[in-house]
Amino acid sequence: MKETSFLQYLEFEKRFSLHTITAYKKDLQQFLLFIKEEGGLSSVKEVRHPHVRSWMVHLLSEGMSSRSINRKLSTLKAYFRFMMKRGYLDHNPTDKVPVPKIGKRLPSNLKKDEISRLFDLVQEEEGFPGFRNRLMIEMLYATGMRRSELINLLISDFDTSRQQLTVKGKGGKIRIIPISTELRKKLENYLTLRATEFTDISLPYLFLTDKGKKLYPKFVYRTVHRYLSLVTNNEYRGPHALRHSFATHLSENGADINAIKALLGHSSLASTQVYTHNSIERLREVYQQAHPKAEEDNP
């Protein structure tokens, strides 16, 4: 059903990350299995918009959230656009399918006092694993980089003289992130410790596991989740919470939104503007708690 060609298109033409391609593949396989087993279809050419709607209803009945269904629908829309563009189909069955409405949810971020407690906790560990864990968490918060960007960061991406990191983001886009003098020194100390710990390893990646291997997504998630669980009750306690915190705290301290956009590696300003909403919510909270007139607004 041309799904292999579609996935190759995502990888080589759209230059999506491996994580994103894996998600698209899973969504597509779920849909193709559904139309075969539930719809009795033998070819994707037979798919019409009622089949797509039936799949969405099925996902809803399974307890899936509107946000997750929306993401799966986006996969199908991309797939069928690809099929039409390549001449495999003459119609797009997702055209008449409405997008499920989802409530607006602001990014989950840690409060500044939670960040302080977080680094106090991580600092207690000793040896290479402890130093790496602290630096890994501090890098995520101090730079706002994504988990995949941290994993793929090379030693050569660290420019000690200029105090900056070269980060390869989504779609292969390169951005430069400045770092503090303190973080530069910690990176230099880490590299010294890394060389001592792994004398016979020549991997180019900056961060390594306890066994000297390249980091992997679950390793980073588990490490971050373990420490965040000690300082916050937020529903989401993964690496992206530190990215959200980085952007929100910059916004709260008056940073220009275009500068935040550049640091995060966003292609659209709309993606960055959500952090100004986060700041507004925080200001509203402070106002309600501290301003004398706030009581008059709440009978």
Asked if 42 and 183 sit in the same domain, the reply is no
The CATH number of residue 281's host domain is: 1.10.443.10
Asked if 190 and 267 sit in the same domain, the reply is yes
The per-residue pLDDT of the chain, averaged, comes to 86
Asked if 158 and 284 sit in the same domain, the reply is yes
Asked if 251 and 135 sit in the same domain, the reply is yes
Asked if 41 and 119 sit in the same domain, the reply is no
72-86, 175-189, 269-283: segment of lowest average pLDDT: 269-283
292 pLDDT more than 70: no
Structural domain total, the chain: 2
* Euclidean distance between CA atoms 60 and 240, whole angstroms: 26
What pLDDT was estimated at residue 158? 97
Residue 297 belongs to some domain of the structure: no
Asked if 197 and 60 sit in the same domain, the reply is no
What pLDDT was estimated at residue 254? 85
For the segment 75-92, the average pLDDT, to the nearest whole number, is 93
64-73, 181-190, 229-238, 274-283: segment of lowest average pLDDT: 274-283
Neighbour count for residue 227 (Cβ, 10 Å): 20
Residue 70 belongs to some domain of the structure: yes
Tokens for 281, please give them. 């919510």
Residue 118 belongs to some domain of the structure: yes
What pLDDT was estimated at residue 65? 81
Asked if 145 and 64 sit in the same domain, the reply is no
Asked if 57 and 127 sit in the same domain, the reply is no
For the segment 113-124, the average pLDDT, to the nearest whole number, is 85
The CATH number of residue 69's host domain is: 1.10.150.130
Residue 229 belongs to some domain of the structure: yes
Higher-pLDDT residue of 123 and 191 is 191
What pLDDT was estimated at residue 97? 86
51-65, 139-153, 197-211: segment of lowest average pLDDT: 51-65
Residue 106 belongs to some domain of the structure: no
113 pLDDT more than 80: yes
DSSP readout, the chain? --HHHHHHIIIIIS---HHHHHHHHHHHHHHHHHHHHTS--SSGGG--HHHHHHHHHHHHHTT--HHHHHHHHHHHHHHHHHHHHTTS-S--TTTTPPPPP----PPP---HHHHHHHHHHHTT--HHHHHHHHHHHHHHHHH---HHHHHT-BGGGEETTTTEEEEE-GGG-EEEEE--HHHHHHHHHHHHHHHHH-TT----BS-B-TTSPBP-HHHHHHHHHHHHTTT---S--SHHHHHHHHHHHHHHTT--HHHHHHHHT-SSHHHHHHHHHHHHHHHHHHHHHH-GGGGGG--
With cut-offs at 50, 70 and 90, classify the pLDDT of residue 298. Answer: very low
236 pLDDT more than 60: yes
282 pLDDT more than 70: no
Residue pair 110/231 in contact (Cβ under 8 Å)? The answer is yes
Residue 223 belongs to some domain of the structure: yes
Examine the fold and report which residue of 33, 50, 85 is the final residue of a domain before the chain moves on: 85
Asked whether the whole model's pTM tops 0.75, one would answer no
Asked if 65 and 137 sit in the same domain, the reply is no
For the segment 200-229, the average pLDDT, to the nearest whole number, is 94
- Please give the residue range of the domain that contains residue 22: 3-85
Residue pair 2/8 in contact (Cβ under 8 Å)? The answer is no
Residue 216 belongs to some domain of the structure: yes
Q: What is the pLDDT of residues 28-41, one digit of tens each?
A: 999 999 888 877 88
Examine the fold and report which residue of 70, 85, 100 is the final residue of a domain before the chain moves on: 85
Asked if 50 and 119 sit in the same domain, the reply is no
What pLDDT was estimated at residue 299? 43
Residue pair 178/127 in contact (Cβ under 8 Å)? The answer is no
Q: What is the pLDDT of residues 163-197, one digit of tens each?
A: 999 999 988 899 999 999 999 999 999 999 999 99
Task: List the catalytic residues.
Answer: 146, 170, 240, 243, 266, 275
For the segment 83-88, the average pLDDT, to the nearest whole number, is 92
Asked if 120 and 50 sit in the same domain, the reply is no
Residue 182 belongs to some domain of the structure: yes
Asked if 276 and 144 sit in the same domain, the reply is yes
